[in-house]
Each structure stands twice: as C-alpha cells, then as structure tokens.
Amino acid sequence: MVSALPRVLVLNGPNLGRLGVREPEIYGHASMADLKVSAAQWGKELGLEVDVRQTDDESEIVGWLHEAVDAGAHVVLNPAAFTHYSYALRDAAAQVTTADLLLVEVHLSNPATRESFRHYSVVAGVATGTVAGFGFDSYRLALTAIAERLASKPQA
C-alpha cells in the first residue's frame, strides 16, 4: 500500500557521513546510521514518512532537491559546508519553497558561534526556517516544525 503520510527528505551534505569520528567535540559521537534510526522513530511519532540521505556530491544533493519538488516532499536540509558557498544548492532549495513545500535548514553546531566563514548561509534566504546548535535535536525540532505546520495548514 502507498503511504498517505507526508514525505520528508532529510538531506545531508559533505562530511556528514563521517559523523561520530569527525570532530566529535563539535559534532558529537553518534553516526549517520544513528541519525537514521532516530529520525525513523521521530517520523513515526510525528506521522511523517522520513527518508534520510547523505552525500559528499553537490550534484547528487541538487538532484534530491529536484526529486523533492517533483514528488511533493518536504525537506530537512543540512547542507554542511555547501551552506556557505553553493549557489547551485540555494537555487535548488528555492525551487522547493516556491513549490509551496517546506524546507528547514538544520545544523548540528551553531555556525554563528564559529569561524567567520560559517556565519553566512546562502541557503537561509530561501528556507522556510532554520534550526542550529542542538546536535541531533536540530533534526527532531525541524521535523516537529514541519509536522506542526502541516497540521495547522492541511495541504490541498
């Protein structure tokens, strides 16, 4: 049977596949596999069909954003370093929100408290909103925001 639940693609950019071993003092000790398990549980609790993906490849994540538009899926996006310079990603993210789909930008860390090159997000201006600084909880909060927005504004 086809799921009638709203779909959310949880898309993660470069180096996030290294979670758990990469700078654990900043990003924590849990892995991308752990995030997939947690996100599946949050999706169940929130009534969302959640699909977590990670890539180091800009063209792949741009393609996934196109897929979200074509499938009518909402997006939680951790663009990782692409946040700070990828106009291609921004342009793809803009297509999601102009299609009236929700796109929440998330970060594990709070980039505003870190090196100055992390202070600017080229994606933020086309996102529905941003959650940063809460580790894995940034994703849970983003999914909760999507579920609550959808509940308050039933989709056509």
- The answer to whether the CB of 3 falls within 8 A of the CB of 43 is no
Between 6 and 111, CB nearer to ligand DQA: 111
CB of 108 to ligand DQA, least distance (A): 4
Q: Which of 32, 40, 69, 81 binds ligand DQA (CB under 6 A)?
A: 81
Q: What is the token pair recorded at 55? A: 């890539």
**In the complex with ligand DQA, which residue's Cβ is closer, 81 or 94?**
81
Minimum CB–partner distance for residue 47 and ligand DQA (Å): 26
> Of 24-53, which residues contact ligand DQA (CB under 6 A)?
none
Which range in 1-9, 45-53, 79-87, 143-151 contacts ligand DQA by CB under 6 A?
79-87
Interface with ligand DQA includes 15 (CB under 6 A)? yes
109 binds ligand DQA (CB under 6 A): yes
Does 111 contact ligand DQA by CB under 6 A? yes
In the chain, the amino acid numbered 15 is N
User: How far, CA to CA in Å, does 47 sit from each of 31, 38, 72, 93?
Assistant: 24, 14, 16, 24
45: left (phi over 0), alpha (psi -120 to 50) or beta: alpha
Task: Please report whether residue 78 would count as binding ligand DQA according to CB under 6 A.
Answer: yes
* Burial class (CB within 10 angstroms; exposed 0-12, middle 13-18, buried 19+) of 154: exposed
∠39-49-71 over CA atoms, to 5°? 125
Known catalytic residues are 27, 107
